[in-house]
Chains A and B, each alone.
Chain A
Amino acid sequence: MTAVGSQLPAPAEVVEAALAASRSTGCVVLVEDGHRVNLRWAGSALTTNGHSHQRTLTVVALDGQGRHTSAGAVSGPVRAADDIVALVGQAEDVARRAAPEESARALVAGTAADDADSPAAEGSFDVLAGLTPALGDVLARARGDGTLLYGYAEHRVTTTYLATSTGTRHRHVQPSGHLTMTAKTADRSASTWTGLATRDFTDVDVHALDVSLRRRLGWAGTTVALRPGHHPVILPPSAVADLMVYAYWEMGALAAHEGRTAYADPGRGTLVGRPLVDPRVTVRSDPAHPGLAAADVLATGASGAFASVFDNGLPVPATRWVDRGTLSALVQTRYSAELTGLPVTPFVDNLVVDVDGGSGDVDDLVARCEDGVLLTSLWYIRMVDPRRLLLTGLTRDGVYLVRDGEVVGAAGNFRFNDSPVELLRRLQDAGGTVPTFSREWGEYFPRTAMPPLRVHDVHFSTTSDAL
């Protein structure tokens, strides 16, 4: 396939041209070049597809000195050299007109990476080409036997260039991919789901996914009645990721400092250093985690709750957020770290949960369970009370009753109201940590590794009629 963007100026040249055009007291330049290819299907047939390419230049111009510095962060397209100069001028104008930012600090003294001027990674629909024969087989088989398959496969590759007037020259290539698939019986009375994350689709076995879906549809051949209330529940790694990604997104130090979250002692500060969950649990991030590699240098085009444009170029180290049950760090900017008196621990773009002594997979947890409920996935998870991290949501695409180590039938769906922090105090059993894909948040946060968990007294508030 032709490279449609080939006539655009090279990203590394754009970066240097923007810095050269800058007349402000400090300048940050970001170029993001991203490709996304995808296939989607419903009712066992293709619905949409696509290959999208986007390139964006962001210039952050600084005006002023020290903590009285304002920032003009402006993003736009880059089609020609004139666009670069215009965007720098616009950013400088915004910086002059804006007020000083609360997180203003001197720019990080950076270093230049050897590959900072390498080309952007090229995306191609070909990455999905290896998938289509097997997927075609699986869809054709489904059309033949009446099974209904719905799903999506996506691959993205984004190259980010970061340069600052203080010497940072950095390039990061981030591949991300995922595949999700829902299977329903012909009468739509039973439904199940599976999903995974991948970096290049070479490790995806569509036939194996089809087998696992059909196994679970088979479990729905027997239906059982289950009432709302408190139940022992086996959460597969995907469902654990759904809950723990939300818990991570609530870990902003500033919000805790203001007393807003479950990581706060309102009016007194944060809960860092205090026991939070079961002492067997560790929650951590590591940019170098095998299979989940993420950016190890902070790059952001806008200041927000989790990042400041002034912190661009900051190293992103491995961080333990919860260390053997104790809250040990919160997501910080340099500004919030000063406010809270805690170390600078920036947001990391992956998340891993380990449970000491955890072993085996979901099937092993089922085999070790005398009486419980096995879930497939969670859905529509939203905050009810941030002070407890009380979340609501639904079970989705398969709730199964477990008796004496075996699945004995399928029940209907439930609305839950519960808190991941409180769930992690009610651990009964855990498996080994494996790469997984959060069904609800995975598109936006795809790099997770979680164990399956068995937790007692999960609160199913009401039944849901949804199939």
Chain B
Amino acid sequence: MSMPRHYVDPAFSDLPLDAAADAALTRAAQLGASHAEVRVERILSQDVTVRDRALSGLHVGEDLGVSVRVVHDDTWGFAAGPDPTPTSARALAERAVAVARASRALRGSPVQRTDEPVHVGTWVSDYLVDPFDVDVAEVVGLLLDRTGRLLDDPRVDHATAMLQQVRESTFYTDTAGTRTVQQRVRVHPEVEALAIDADARQVETLRSLAAPAGRGYEYVTGADGVHDWDAELAALPELLAERLRAPSLPAGRYDLVIEPTNLWLTIHESIGHATELDRALGFEADYAGTSFATPDGLGSLRYGSPTMQVTADRTEPFGLASVGWDHEGVAAQRWDLVRDGLLVGYQLDRSSAMLLAQAAGNRSNGCAYAQSSQYVPIQRMANVSLQPAAGGPDAADLVADVEDGLYVVGDKSWSIDMQRYNFQFTAQRFHRIRNGRLVGQVKDVAYQGRTPDFWGSLAAVGGPQTWWLGGTFVCGKAQPGQGAPVSHGAPTALFRGVSVLDTRQEGRG
């Protein structure tokens, strides 16, 4: 499907962006700042929730603001406000310098940042239908139709449908002369069905598998053919009924064939966050955590089996972390994180890049991002993806290679430790594999692993035909906490001898 060229919303581009920026940059320079940058952001959001056959919540939001970040006396200072006018931006520059001055006593080493070529340009993501051009009545009607179709099946007791839509417009400029304007959209449609067995006092839920994506409203309806909503809505009641009556599974070690609908989240937690250099250097030690993949292992740390190839990419088509330039004016790039199972790269912003010896004097790879104008940019995740094997097997071939195992579909619960070692995940569905065949669902299952051991057990990855792009709207990090959208692609993959829990036996002191 060819995408029409969209333009930046005039409601944003007609704001006094350059005048506000000039006022702030000029004032910052007058006050002695050695560097200053101005970011104006306008974020439109729409959240709709339907429960059973009624609307339960609808909110439309616009977040508009401007921020100024300075380096003054080799110390950072940041200020943000709601009014992107020259008067306000000039005052914010003064406030940012004042914050830097007030913080000066806590500074250790002077602020250092890698160089970056000057960029001037405009970038708009690919989409067919702008979600904010769609009639609210159509959106609500679509979701009511989806819950209604699920409830028409007597095996479904309750159904919910949810849609989140965002359009993010960003203006960035700095004292070096970079000036960028960007606009991107993202959507996240979802349905969930619930079934009750009152006699057995059992409840189970099952959620749709459509991933959040950097796409337009055509993805929500399914008109682009990326996600088959009709097929999923038709299949959910039977899959849910099967889950409700499914047996549990004895804890033990099993081979897992994991679909990308589940594996994307394992990649996110055990590779994506672990290869953020600010974490590896300890910057997140008080909150989001650090990483076992420290810089002394760059080029030598055995992350996983030689089958493992992982890339970071801020240009991934329809990726939630795809941009033209990051929030420090660095151009979007693609690079390797894990090659043949060895750690070979990190995700960097301009400050952390200076701290990595191998990158000193080189460029940041463009991973700075702030949730909105209210937040300071920090290093955030690129679209981090496991690469498929050229000519590799499909899912059925991988299942056929398993004697006793599980086929894992869809993400659900997730948790990982503060150094990205010990993780535990559940799934929407676990299908038992016996002698190379799927023989029905099991439930009350979680899989646990230690990151290098788990990726070391990677026996095979599927071919490009199994590759799929998952992701999340809100990955949390930092203080104050910030959310960031990010996508992860993966093929279906086979892991040998993974530890599996019977969650009924957990706890029970």
> A91's closest neighbor in chain B, by CB?
B60
B334 at the interface (CB under 8 A from A): no
A18-26, A177-185, A275-283, A314-322 - the one binding chain B: A177-185
Q: Decide if the interface of chain B is mainly helix, strand, loop or mixed.
A: mixed
- Partner-binding segment picked from B105-113, B115-123, B335-343, B386-394: B105-113
Chain A, residue nearest B138 (CB): A97
Q: Which residues of chain B are within 8 angstroms of A76 by Cβ–Cβ distance?
A: 61-62, 64
**A102–B508 CA distance with the chains assembled, in angstroms:** 38
Interface pick from B82-90, B176-184, B214-222, B358-366: B82-90
Which of B313-321, B323-331, B411-419, B458-466 touches A? B411-419
Residue on A with the closest CB to B291? A466
In the complex, how many angstroms separate the beta carbon of A387 from the nearest chain B beta carbon? 6
Task: For the complex, give the distance between the alpha carbons of A359 and B446 in Å.
Answer: 39
Q: Which residues of B contact A413 (CB under 8 A)?
A: 417, 422
Q: Which of B138-171 contact A (CB under 8 A)?
A: 140-141, 144, 157-158
- A45 contact from B107, B157, B289, Cβ within 8 A: B107
Closest chain A CB from B152 CB (angstroms): 18
**Pair A49/B480 contact, Cβ less than 8 Å:** no
A100 touches B283 (CB 8 A): no
Query: With A and B bound together, what is the CA distance between A266 and B199 in angstroms?
Result: 9
> Is the Cβ of B108 less than 8 Å from the Cβ of A51?
no
A50 in contact with B78 (CB, 8 Å): yes
CB interface residues, B 223-262, toward A, < 8 Å: none
Residue in B55, B196, B446 whose beta carbon sits within 8 Å of that of A259 in the complex: B196
CB-CB under 8 A from A419, the residues of chain B are 507
B419 & A465 in contact (Cβ 8 Å cutoff): yes
Measured between C-beta atoms, what is the minimum distance from A143 to chain B in Å? 7
- A109 beta carbon closer than 8 Å to chain B: no
B76 touches A415 (CB 8 A): no
Contact B82 A51 (CB under 8 A): no
Q: What's the nearest-Cβ distance from chain A to residue B39, in Å?
A: 12
Q: How many residue pairs at the A-B interface have CB separations less than 8 Å?
A: 327
Point out the residues of chain A lying under 8 angstroms from B59, CB to CB: 73-75, 301-303
Say whether B426 contacts A259, CB under 8 Å: no
In angstroms, Cα B94 to Cα A44, docked, is 27
Known: A392-B413, A415-B417. A98 touches B55 (CB 8 A): yes
1/0 per residue A455-467: CB within 8 Å of B?
1111101111111
How far, in whole Å, are A260 and B282 apart by their CA atoms in the complex? Answer: 39
Interface residues in B8-52 by Cβ distance below 8 A to A read: 47, 49, 51-52
B480 near A443: Cβ-Cβ < 8 Å: yes
Question: Among residues 87 to 143 in chain A, which have CB atoms less than 8 Å away from a CB atom of chain B?
Answer: 90, 94, 97-103, 125-126, 128-129, 132-133, 135-136, 139, 143
In the complex where A53-B81, A380-B415 touch, is A422 in contact with B422 (Cβ < 8 A)? no
B417 contact from A49, A258, A458, A464, Cβ within 8 A: A464
Residue numbers in B under 8 Å from A444 (CB-CB): 481
B474 sits at the interface (CB 8 A): no
Q: Which of B81, B375, B413 contacts A384 (CB 8 A)?
A: B413
Q: Is B114 interfacial (CB-CB < 8 Å)?
A: no
Inter-subunit contact B422/A384 (CB<8 Å):
no
- Of B201-209, B303-311, B399-407, B484-492, the one contacting chain A is B201-209
Q: How far is the CA of A1 from the CA of B94 in the complex (A)?
A: 9
Closest residue of A by beta carbon distance from B205: A260
Report yes or no: A384 in contact with B479, Cβ–Cβ below 8 A.
no
B202 contacts across to A, CB distance below 8 A: 266
Task: Flag whether A323 is at the interface (Cβ < 8 A).
Answer: no
Q: Judge whether B88 and A4 touch: CB under 8 Å.
A: yes
Find A422's partner among B54, B83, B508 (CB 8 Å cutoff): B508
Closest B residue by C-beta to A46: B106
Check if A396 sits within 8 Å of B418, measured CB to CB.
yes
Contact A132 B64 (CB under 8 A): no
Q: Which residues of B contact A71 (CB under 8 A)?
A: 58
Collect the chain B residues with CB atoms within 8 Å of residue A415's CB: 415, 417, 422, 424, 448
A150 touches B374 (CB 8 A): no
> Chain B nearest CB: distance from A203 CB in Å?
20
Cβ of B4 within 8 Å of any chain A Cβ, yes or no, is no
The answer to whether A47 and B374 touch across the interface, beta carbons within 8 angstroms, is no
B285 CB within 8 Å of chain A: yes
A380 to B109, CA, bound (A): 32
Residue-wise interface mask of A (190-221) relative to B, using a CB-CB cutoff of 8 A (1 in contact, 0 not): 01010000000000000000000000000000
Which residue of B47, B81, B282 contacts A5 across the interface (Cβ within 8 Å)? B81
Residues of B within 8 A of A387 (CB): 203
Residues of B within 8 A of A302 (CB): 47, 57-59
Output the nearest chain A residue to B201 by Cβ-Cβ distance: A266
Is the CB of A367 closer than 8 A to any CB of chain B? no
Q: Is the CB of A4 within 8 A of B81?
A: yes
B414 touches A382 (CB 8 A): yes
Interface flag for B77 (CB, 8 Å) = yes
Cβ distance B317 to chain A, nearest Cβ, rounded Å: 31
What is the chain A residue whose CB lies nearest that of B422? A464
* Cα distance, A443 to B479, chains bound together (Å): 9
Render A223-242 as a binary contact track against B, CB cut-off 8 A, 1 for contact.
00000001000000000000
Nearest CB of chain B from residue A326's CB, rounded to whole Å: 20
Residues of B within 8 A of A2 (CB): 91, 94-95
Is B129's CB within 8 Å of the partner chain A? no
Q: Which of B106, B137, B422 contacts A136 (CB 8 A)?
A: B106
8 Å CB contacts to A: which residues of B435-489?
A: 444, 446, 448, 450, 479-481
Q: Is the CB of B415 within 8 A of A382?
A: yes
**With A7-B88, A102-B51, A459-B506 in contact, is A304–B109 under 8 Å at CB?**
no
Given the interface pairs A132-B102, A413-B417, the reply to whether A303 lies near B196 with Cβ below 8 Å is: no
Cα of A301 to Cα of B95 in the assembled complex, Å: 30
Structural contact, A193 and B55, CB atoms closer than 8 A? no
Interface residue? B376 (CB, 8 A): yes
Residues of A within 8 A of B105 (CB): 132-133, 136
Q: Does B98 contact A (CB under 8 A)?
A: yes
Known: A2-B91, A42-B282. A266 touches B203 (CB 8 A): yes
**Interface membership of A27, Cβ < 8 A:** no
Interfacial chain A residues near B281, Cβ < 8 Å: 43
**Is A325 at the interface (CB under 8 A from chain B)?**
no
A384→B481 CA distance, assembly (Å):
23
Is A313 an interface residue when CB atoms closer than 8 A count as contact? no
Q: Chain B residue with minimal CB distance to A414?
A: B422
Please, which residues of chain A bring their CB within 8 A of the CB of B203? 259-260, 264, 266, 387
Identify B56's interface contact among A75, A103, A265, CB under 8 A.
Answer: A103
B99 → A minimal CB distance (Å): 5
B503 at the interface (CB under 8 A from A): yes
Which residues from B are CB-within-8-Å of A46? 75-76, 103, 106-108
Query: From residue A431, how far is it (CB to closest CB) to chain B in Å?
Result: 20
Judge whether A230 and B418 touch: CB under 8 Å.
Answer: no
- Tell me which of B58, B102, B144, B501 contacts A129 (CB under 8 A): B102
Q: A98-B140, A394-B418 are in contact. List 19 more A-B contacts (CB 8 A).
A: A5-B83, A49-B100, A49-B376, A53-B80, A54-B82, A74-B60, A77-B62, A77-B65, A77-B83, A102-B56, A125-B99, A152-B479, A258-B157, A382-B415, A394-B422, A462-B499, A464-B417, A466-B289, A466-B292
A-B contact pairs, 13 of them (CB 8 A): A42-B286, A43-B108, A54-B82, A55-B82, A72-B60, A74-B59, A302-B57, A303-B56, A379-B289, A394-B415, A444-B481, A457-B509, A464-B417
Q: List the 3 shortest-distance A-B pairs measured between CB atoms, nearest first.
A: A45-B108, A267-B198, A457-B509
